[in-house]
Amino acid sequence: MENKPQRIDLHNFIEEISKGNSSFLSRAITLGESTLSLHRNQFRDLLAELIPNSGSSIRIGITGTPGAGKSTLIESLGTYLIEKHQKKVAVLAVDPSSELNHGSILGDKTRMELLSRSKQAFIRPSPSKSNLGGVTQNTREAVYLCEAAGYDIILIETVGVGQSETAVHSMVDFFMMLQIVGGGDDLQAIKRGIYEHIDLLVVHKADQDKINQASHEAANFKKMFALFPPKESQWNPVAMTCSSKENKGISELWKMVVNYVEQTQNSGYFEKKRAAQNIKWHLELQQDQLKRFLEENPKLNQGISLINQEVEQEELTPLEASKRLEKLLLKLFPNT
């Protein structure tokens, strides 16, 4: 006999998450990642109750190519914030998923061993499920849950695979990119697209034997940023060196974040960006609801299956199939 999905005790979850119970926080994020309609509906009810207690954190996005040391820097920064500034730090790490079996290693707790032992830290690795943008479909919702649980700083580590990483920019206050020493500073090397969104570029792994090269590269990035048009935030992107291995540059990096937050809060841009992020979230939810509605329409699914079958049997060209689908949609929804 097949087990039916169980309903959660909504009141209990709200109470425990509000108290900072990391176990319930993790379970709530898992609930949000479920594809079952019951789970998704329960998750949205839970989120609706907790959102009024969210919004007080600083949200930081961290991207960079694989091997740039994102996890290492996050561990150093997170440990510094806990020990020196008594902050509660949540890390939402996105691991790449296999396109073949959709599996994911989810190894960030292993890579951040020191930080994961702190009671003031919460580390949640999630599979990307091949989702574009360097984040998962539920990353934004997980941010609100972490804030409701009392975390002061939310660090979002992206997959780190290309220009699509800019999607995380729409859900954070401050966006930084890690560039490994010797990775090159040519504008065409990593494309201009992502550079236009970042607030800070960190030339990472600037250890003692590479500090001169790292400083030279950081200076070149500063010159490059000077050529960009002014941002709406009026914040000029900064480039700096950092060595997580030698614990150098971590405090300076945090001062940069604090300066950015103070400047944008004083100018009003900080709240304006948060409002834009809410609109972005609304549009994402809207698209998700429309997609689910169409996927759950039996007549539409049956029609699409028949069209797909005819394409596979080469009875229809893709263009003819597209026109057939258009006719099917007009038939099912005549008033559109």
CA distance 76 to 114: 9
Of all residues in the chain, the percent with pLDDT exceeding 70 is 85
Both 45 and 86 in one domain: the answer is no
Both 298 and 259 in one domain: the answer is no
Read off the pLDDT of residues 236-249 as tens digits, 9 standing for 90 and up. 999 999 999 999 99
Residue 150 has pLDDT above 90, yes or no: yes
Give a yes or no: residue 217 inside a domain: yes
Read off the pLDDT of residues 70-117 as tens digits, 9 standing for 90 and up. 999 999 999 999 999 999 999 998 865 433 344 344 445 557 889 999
Both 328 and 288 in one domain: the answer is yes
Both 207 and 71 in one domain: the answer is yes
Both 170 and 225 in one domain: the answer is yes
CA distance 199 to 233: 10
Over residues 141-161, the mean pLDDT reads 91
Q: How many CB atoms lie within 10 A of CB 103?
A: 10
Question: Cβ(32)–Cβ(141) under 8 Å?
Answer: yes
**Residues in contact with 130: Cβ distance below 8 Å, sequence separation at least 6, in sequence order:** 97, 99, 102
pLDDT (0 to 100) of residue 27: 95
Name the nearest CA neighbour of 166 among 137, 208, 194, 130. Answer: 194
pLDDT (0 to 100) of residue 131: 45
3-class SS letters over 254-294: HHHHHHHHHHHHHHCHHHHHHHHHHHHHHHHHHHHHHHHHH
pLDDT (0 to 100) of residue 229: 86
Residue 190 has pLDDT above 60, yes or no: no
Both 99 and 184 in one domain: the answer is yes
Tally the domains of the chain. Answer: 3
As a whole number, the mean pLDDT across the chain is 86
Over residues 306-325, the mean pLDDT reads 95
Give a yes or no: residue 275 inside a domain: no
CATH number for position 29: 1.20.5
Read off the pLDDT of residues 7-36 as tens digits, 9 standing for 90 and up. 889 999 999 999 999 999 999 999 998 888
Burial class of residue 141 (count of CB atoms within 10 Å of its CB; 0-12, 13-18, 19+): buried
Give a yes or no: residue 37 inside a domain: yes
Both 107 and 61 in one domain: the answer is yes
Both 120 and 219 in one domain: the answer is yes
Over residues 114-131, the mean pLDDT reads 81
Both 49 and 120 in one domain: the answer is no
Give a yes or no: residue 276 inside a domain: no
Three-class SS state of 304 = helix
Window from 134-138, 143-147, 288-292 with minimum mean pLDDT:
134-138
Read off the pLDDT of residues 263-307 as tens digits, 9 standing for 90 and up. 999 999 999 999 999 998 889 888 888 888 888 899 999 999 999
- Tell which wins on pLDDT, 288 or 4: 288
Both 166 and 60 in one domain: the answer is yes
pLDDT (0 to 100) of residue 193: 65
Both 48 and 190 in one domain: the answer is no
Name the nearest CA neighbour of 172 among 268, 257, 68. Answer: 257
Instruction: Tell me the backbone φ, ψ of residue 225, rounded to 5 degrees.
Output: -65, -30
Both 257 and 325 in one domain: the answer is no
The residue range of the domain holding 34 is 1-53
Over residues 161-170, the mean pLDDT reads 65
Window from 72-76, 226-230, 315-319 with minimum mean pLDDT:
226-230
CATH number for position 90: 3.40.50.300
User: What H or E segment, with its residue span, contains residue 92?
Assistant: strand 89-95
Q: Is 93 left (phi over 0), alpha (psi -120 to 50) or beta?
A: beta
Three-class SS state of 241 = strand
pLDDT (0 to 100) of residue 101: 40
pLDDT (0 to 100) of residue 151: 98
